[in-house]
Structure 1
């Protein structure tokens, strides 16, 4: 999201420009991640593709696609956020009330948690890689009388050997690779986090509408104009949701594909024997974090649909004294409309889709198991 003016209170200060520091940083990052992508692609072509060694390539491909999609989103974001602000002004004054947990808390809390968990996950990845390298190096020194020293240079050369098949080794390039790899991990996590924060913001406003409707349940006399106003606000929120979905649906689709693939790959490796305890710690933490993050994305996005439907029961319980044509239209609209974010209109993020995703994971896992089994058979024939 290479934008300027994001810390300003006035949304009109938010701008997108390729001639800005955020845009330059984004382009530099894309260039460095592209180098990693191409180096790994050349390495995989050389050693042949399998279900397991393809994971890194898919990771870099997803990061590249995410960057392109976020740049495209940043181009449309200033206009979108201005429209969003105009709609939200309705809900920042009476008769709407601030809920127990305000919007700031609901957005910041998951952001802090996800960022913290992702830092732990990346830290365990680095710890696993470093300790595994040191154990292997000491084992070679003791067993095979190896003279290779345990050093930063040797660690980088072994763990990122696919890069130095093309680029010459220097300490500057080595440090840059570590920074780029960390940035790729951040983008990979940020994609899901962004969807969660957007979902929280939209669901909060639908929850305010539901809370206002519930307050009318016990009133003896409600004017028809009140239901007209609430219905207009509900329609405004649905229009905002549609605009957000048009801008965000490609990122949602990429996020879902990315999460499904990596969950399946982690499950594929669940029975693998690992050498050191740190490898087991990293593997299980990474798998549980990935599964939990994927579930949170789906369930958080599904709250938009849940909150839009939550007041339907109240509308149907309105007394006959307050029943009117406008109320009938409103209840039918809430019942019939599928208010939810989508993945390029292929599917809607509702609670029912979680069941479908679980079935998809099982199917995809069986395919990967067959693919991996075929790779093992081919390896046996080659040997």
Structure 2
């Protein structure tokens, strides 16, 4: 069986018998088998230097060492062979201690709310601590599966190298990732310090009733000091736990953006291979491209299995606090410093959420680009591989997802905008009703 002469541009490919795809079968299990074939192959020097593990290792190690996120062993080693999740390791115990401290903080809020009327404006701290406990818990679950996930990445990268799709890991990608992480965490530090400065300014009205430090800590952690007698050490404890939560809240977005950038780069490698071989569209060429594409899709599926909860927590917390900050920005009694903090925090939150949406949506954008090349080839010259590849591109959806509740594509940005407007209107009505009955004295 053979297909007619294929003409692409000015080049001609002589007709030759069609051979079944060498690298791919319709059974999705075949992809896993292909990856397993390379499991025992020595990792190339390219992957050791610039693979997924090497790029993500230092960022995860810093977050683990300082803030107790990602309790997995072996991150100090240059290769992934030593990665291991161990409940007896120091990193795991350190993470558990932090999680217990966060539980302690939000449990005091539960106790306070059960012994008083529940007011929306006074449950914000409880939600903040509870969501960040979920962040820590989620990353503990992710860390448990991280060694297998990293090994799957390395097998996929090894296979892409063998298919000549990933010629080299672009150094610009690594620099881009570090720039994103540094910018987001630097802005997060500014936001955190502005919040402290705003709290100190608001507490000045209570300096005649309490000392300066007591007034600040009581104003910042009202529920906590409603349950305990003030002590400077308890105040520092609450402030440190708050710092850890602020880091976790920002790190979850940094982590998802990094994974999105690396996944996008894999599909970009396929598209660069297509652009550089526009005149060599042989059956073998398309077999390799399709096999590489399926490997990248498998990586996205594995990422969704591992990080579906991470995506859901990130978007829920960001949407909730965007609504909270929007409500706070329009309070008529806000001071200049308080207003500066609220507006900076709101703009930063919106920018961070948009950045996550845009970086994640690029996965979907890059995954559809091969369809443009396939459409430029006359249908008379299609073989079975090209036909099936086209069907997959047209009917499949490659994107990160929050446990299949939503997909991270560009359309999500409009959906988020509509959701925020709806919930802010509802929250304004609740806030107006509660302000008439609540005690607005900051010293109580």
Assess, with a 3 A threshold, how the Cα gap between structure 1 residues 267 and 149 changes in structure 2: closer, same or farther. closer
| Counterpart contact for 2:199–2:219, Cα < 8 Å | no
Q: What does residue 251 of structure 1 align with? A: 310
Matched with 2:182 is: 112
Cα distance in 2, alignment partners of residues 211 and 49 from structure 1 = 57
Q: Are residues 6 and 165 of structure 1, via their aligned partners in 2, closer, same or farther at CA, if it must alter by over 3 Å?
A: same
How many Å separate the matches in 2 of 1:100 and 1:31? 41
Q: Match of 1:40? A: 109
Give secondary structure in 1 for the equivalent of 2:400: coil
Question: For 1:160 and 1:268, how far apart are their aligned partners in 2?
Answer: 20
Question: 1:292 pairs with 351, 364, 368, which one?
Answer: 351
The superposition leaves residues 276-302 of structure 1 with CA deviations (integer Å, 9 ceiling, x where unpaired) of 321111111001001111111111111
Give the unaligned 5+ runs of structure 1.
141-145
Contact 1:249 1:343 in 2 (8 A): yes
Matched with 1:143 is: none
User: Whole-Å Cα distance in 2 between the matches of residues 162 and 96 of structure 1?
Assistant: 54
Counterpart in 2 of 1:125?
A: 195
Residue of structure 1 in register with 2:66 after alignment? none
- 1:299 partner SS: helix
Choose which of 186, 211, 224 in structure 1 pairs with 2:247.
186
Per the alignment, do residues 379 and 128 of structure 1 end up closer, same or farther by CA in structure 2, a change over 3 Å counting? closer
Task: Tell me whether 1:13 sits opposite 2:74 in the alignment.
Answer: no
Find out whether 1:334 has 2:393 as its counterpart.
yes
Q: 1:99 to 1:335 in 2, by over 3 A?
A: farther
Post-superposition offset of 1:228:
0.4
Distance in 2 of aligned mates of 1:25 and 1:167 = 25
Partner SS for 2:122:
coil
Match of 2:260 in 1: 199
Query: What does residue 94 of structure 2 align with?
Result: 25
Instruction: Indicate if the aligned counterparts of 1:99 and 1:208 stay in contact, CA closer than 8 A.
Output: no
Which structure 2 residues correspond to residues 1-383 of structure 1 after superposition, within 5 A? 1-92=70-161, 94-98=164-168, 102-133=172-203, 135-137=204-206, 140=208, 148-150=210-212, 152-217=213-278, 219=279, 221-318=280-377, 323-376=382-435
Extract unaligned runs of 5+ from structure 2. Answer: 1-69, 440-444
Give CA deviations for 1:78-123 in whole Å, capped at 9, x if unaligned.
Answer: 1111111111123457453447663212322211111111111101
Contact 2:165 2:269 in 1 (8 A): no
Q: What's the offset of the Cα at 1:192?
A: 1.3
Q: 1:263 to 1:205 in 2, by over 3 A?
A: same
**CA distance in structure 1 between the aligned counterparts of 2:118 and 2:76, rounded to whole angstroms:** 45
- Report if the CA contact (8 A) 2:102-2:130 is conserved: no
Aligned residues: 369
Measure how far apart 1:175 and its partner are: 1.9
The verdict on how the C-alpha distance between 1:379 and 1:158 changes in structure 2, with shifts beyond 3 A counting, is closer
Do the aligned partners of 1:249 and 1:342 also contact (CA within 8 Å) in 2?
yes
Q: Determine if contact 1:202/1:304 at 8 Å carries over to the other structure.
A: yes
Aligned to 1:7, the other structure's residue is in SS state: coil
**CA 1:168–1:19: 2 relative to 1, 3 Å:** farther
Cα distance in 1 for residues equivalent to 2:159 and 2:145: 23
Q: Is the 8 A contact 2:360 2:409 kept in 1?
A: yes
Corresponding residue SS for 1:6:
coil
1: distance between equivalents of 2:226 and 2:131?
23
C-alpha RMSD over aligned residues:
2.2
1:216-273 Cα shifts (integer Å, max 9, x gaps): 22x1x43201100110111011111111101100111111111111111222223202
